[in-house]
Amino acid sequence: MAEATPQVASPVRELRIGEVAKRTGVTPRTIRYYEEIGLLPAVAGRDPGSHRLYGERDVERLEELLQLKEVLGVTLEELREIATAESARAALRREWHEDEPDAGRRREIIDEALGHVASQLELVRRRKAEIEGFEDELVARRRLLRKRLREIGANG
Amino acid sequence: MAEATPQVASPVRELRIGEVAKRTGVTPRTIRYYEEIGLLPAVAGRDPGSHRLYGERDVERLEELLQLKEVLGVTLEELREIATAESARAALRREWHEDEPDAGRRREIIDEALGHVASQLELVRRRKAEIEGFEDELVARRRLLRKRLREIGANG
DNA sequence: CTCTAAATTGACGTGAACGTAAGAAAGAGT
DNA sequence: ACTCTTTCTTACGTTCACGTCAATTTAGAG
């Protein structure tokens, strides 16, 4: 029961851009570019010229985005729209639950994460359905070809 | 049993590039570009300057390629490699079956198409597996989040 | 305080996949 | 033979998603 570090929700920003880049398998340039186009939020409270500092949360978020990009094959613009939509939904729900005393602070965070996962699952499953559609087409085509082959084999 | 048009395997080339473009949902430029990079074979026996003429087979082939591109999210270079590999396999099998009398002419064609379908199915299913991997990750993550939520709900 | 590795901004470069403009030529219809 | 639409070739332009200098600055180690 010794869990009393005086951090309520400290971001623990300790990673620099090179370290984040290594962990996610991209280059620093890519991270700056993503920030530039608004896909990643600009590191808050940072004087121009000083180093960007990130936390584990930021790394996880970037990994999510990279995986969505690869799996869905979407452009960075579409990815930005997805991210924006997620934020908007999160904000709305936060407002909705505003009146709670505070007992559910962690609850809100988990709830938000659940929302992210849900919307991502929807996208992934939509993509999967598309692929399965094409797969079915191919299987049907194969069936037709095999039928023709049997017919030829019968009278040829 | 009146099936005696004097065409053994006539290509029936009758469509011009604009028509092919409309049917496949791309622009003429795209079709020429695909030919330029060797993704589509150059229309055979055509004097420079004269119009390109295509048949239904060509349209179907282009549709296949476009669908593969979209579903797999591959580059045109990779797509070209896939097409090349298919042709190579087809050529090999043709050589292998060379000694047949000729009774299996249509058989060979169907056989070749079956080969194409098989290799495409493999690619599509590989991609599907990747997506399902990510889907599983998301589902696992959701399960974990829900567990945490229940734990909080119990003592909070 | 110095040294140095890593980061910052700014700018230009790059490859993929086409778009677009221009002038000439082809080919279907009359 | 003539018109009118469509295509042809050539060539330069464009967008996306970063890569690559270059000239500073920053910030952690000694």
Kindly state the DSSP code that residue A85 receives in the 8-state scheme.
Answer: H
Q: What angle do CA B67, B17, B121 make, to 5 degrees?
A: 20
Alpha helices in chain B (DSSP H): 17-24, 28-36, 56-72, 76-96, 105-155
**Are A127 and A74 in contact, with CB atoms under 8 Å apart?**
no
Distance of CA B127 to the CA centre of its chain: 14
Q: B4 falls in which pLDDT band (50, 70, 90)?
A: very low
Domain boundaries, chain B: 15-155
Decide if B110 and A67 are in contact by the 8 Å CB cutoff. Answer: no
Rounded to the nearest angstrom, the minimum Cα separation between A52 and chain B is 29
Query: Is any atom of nucleic acid chain C found less than 7 Å from the CB of residue B32?
Result: no
Q: What is the mean pLDDT of residues A3-32?
A: 80
**CB contact A126 to B (< 8 Å):** no
CA A135 to chain centre: 26
* Residues B17-54 as b or e (16 or more Cβ within 10 Å = b): beebbeebebeeebbeebeeeebbeebeeeeeeeebbb
- Picking from A118, A98, A120, the residue whose alpha carbon sits closest to that of residue A110 is A118
- CA angle B26-B32-B37, nearest 5°? 110
Interatomic separation, CA of residue A77 and C1' of nucleotide D20, rounded (Å) = 24
Nearest CA among B25, B110, B42, B126 for reference residue B78: B126
- Mean pLDDT comparison of A8-17, A37-46, A102-111, highest-scoring range: A37-46
CATH number for the region B15-155 comes to 1.10.1660.10
Summarised one tens digit per residue, pLDDT across range A36-74 is 999 999 999 999 999 999 999 999 999 999 999 999 999
Q: How far is B133 from chain A (nearest CA, A)?
A: 10
CB-CB neighbors (< 8 A) of B121 in chain A: 135, 138-139, 142
- Nearest nucleotide to A48, CA against C1' atoms: C8
What's the mean pLDDT in B105-130? 92
Mean pLDDT of B8-17: 69
Q: In chain B, what percentage of residues exceed pLDDT 70? A: 87
**Min distance B156 CA to chain A CA atoms (Å):** 7
Q: Within 13 A of B137's CA, how many CA atoms are on the CB side?
A: 13
Q: Which residues of chain A lie closer than 8 angstroms to B127, CB-CB?
A: 131
Q: Which nucleotides of D are covered by protein (CB under 7 A)?
A: 6-9, 16-20, 25-27
A66 touches strand D (CB under 7 A): no
Q: Cβ–Cβ of A142/B121 closer than 8 Å?
A: yes
